[in-house]
Chain A
């Protein structure tokens, strides 16, 4: 059995640590690229959302390298992501690939027994002891959290750094170095090291950079290829950005959701505008917009793939928030046809507008 996973931001690094820890054979698909997207757009249904297409590309490229089992999470929120596994299975079968899927779905939908059976298909092929398996999982979660922390720091400090580009450079170096270490222990050590170096980047704390919150559909905000590396672009402009949606947030939120105690602050913030959970992360998007306004951000950028059902609802609500709170929000829709030049123009115009708002004393500064 040779397992693989689809890409989503830095998840592949944590997945590598998990598979190394478990001692199972694995393939990490090549980094997301135009090539992967082209494979996806060729085979996927025309109107499906962007993440589906990129993931098809990942699978096909991983299969070319010998993968025969895909591990993917499921969901039953009424958004299309829940149907991905079924469609991917059928699509790959039609393309003539013999590949098995291990779908980690919520126990509510498939039953706890089925969930355990599915997980044991992965863990069963591992030669390690039970204790070692748990240890591997714990280490992978730890690596994910550290990565998310380092990334968040880099995005925030990019507005304050004395030498433009130092945060971005260090973040890139960190990803490469961590991926180079094989053993999970070494990865953690390396991450701690970079975490410290990130803190030591010379910063000008008197700077007042433009601060932007990145909100929207979870895959397109986390996976930089799908949003045309928006966070890197904003780092280049010297803008401090923040994004709440991270893989580790998702894990925590999903585990907590049966208790209904997950993301209480977001639920509270979104109450006036979208009091119900309508699926996907629409409510989180609305909540985050309010929260970022409360914490003094200059604006927010919403990103979602073309046709994303929950985010269309939040897109209808965001202009009201922008009006009520005097808080500019830019909505960007991405798909395989998104042209980079037009995309950059819109971001630059938005950033310029945020900067000028300050100098014209319309925003209370």
Chain B
């Protein structure tokens, strides 16, 4: 039995869990390759127009896999933490894919809630039903997978660079080096190190999140807001680079909240979609890096808007 797992959306965060789980069940895995031009094109061709880039890319990965496997695994990730959600598109992802791409093999798409072990077990039992009926084996596979995931660490925390920025955004925008045009490498080459939210202690983020009027009900919003607000408040970084996919609903909220919290703190919002041109991205990153470099040298903060608001305060 060949199970296809698309390398899209939260795959980079949860692949240890999903791959281990299905391998333990004795299934053969087919995993789509890193995102490339043809995958992106296929995604843009089949996916509903209004969807964001990562969802289109996911469609592309499914297209790649559809003739290469007997069973297709589309994670329907509903909740990762209690009383929090991901994004409506994640909850309806299997429906989007099934109704957009013709000729799919059978799909495993049971709701995945990681709020408790019991809910996970529920998911495991129903997801494994097409592969094995041995409940003990499923249980063992789940434990092994959960164990594997708990040892898995991801995230960037560069050391030894003169300038450091917070690299924020949804994980699939940060870790998919094709759709973000390997922005980390570009920044590193300009002498800018990055830190991502996985490398910041959640306890540091918590007070910032608590200061909001309403606790964000999206996991992405809570983490990203807490991450940026905490780092900016402690001046641990010199700037923020936010990778956001065009028309992302959650980002439109986070960026507004973060902008309100950090005020004049330098922030570069890079919008990516299937048309993004690399030259424009390069220019913007270089300009941002230049600005940060000068503000470090001059020991004064430069306005991110181009107006010299700190002139009178500058010691130079």
Q: Which residues of A contact B (CB under 8 A)?
A: 45-49, 74, 76, 78-80, 82-83, 85-87, 89-91, 94, 103, 105, 109, 273-274, 276-280, 282, 306-310, 312-317, 319-320, 333
Contact = CB atoms under 8 A, between A and B. Distances in A.
Contact of B214 (A74, A273, A310): A74
Contacts of B50: 306-307, 312, 315, 333
A313 B89 contact: yes
Nearest to A277: B91
A308 B91 CA distance: 14
Given A47-B252, A48-B253, A80-B253, A316 B88 contact: no
Most buried by A among B48, B83, B100: B48
Given A49-B249, A87-B256, A316 B213 contact: no
B217 A78 contact: yes
A313 B87 CA distance: 11
A316 B88 CA distance: 13
Given A76-B217, A278-B91, A312-B48, A86 B257 contact: yes
B248 A47 contact: yes
Contact of B89 (A46, A74, A89, A309): A309
Given A276-B111, A316-B100, A317-B95, A47 B86 contact: no
Given A45-B256, A307-B249, A312-B50, A86 B87 contact: no
A78 B91 contact: yes
B212 interface: yes
Contacts of B87: 78, 309
Please report whether the interface of chain B is mostly helix, strand, loop or mixed according to DSSP: mixed
B99 interface: yes
Contacts of B78: 276
A273 B249 CA distance: 23
B117 interface: no
B181 interface: no
A-B pairs, 7 with minimum CB distance: A313-B92, A78-B85, A278-B91, A47-B252, A279-B88, A316-B48, A316-B96
Nearest to B46: A316
Interface in B91-113: 91-92, 95-96, 99-100, 111
Contact of A48 (B51, B99, B256): B256
A316 B91 CA distance: 13
A290 to B, nearest CB: 14
B260 A94 contact: yes
Given A276-B91, A316-B51, A48 B252 contact: yes
A312 B51 contact: yes
Contacts of B257: 86-87, 90
Contacts of A103: 214
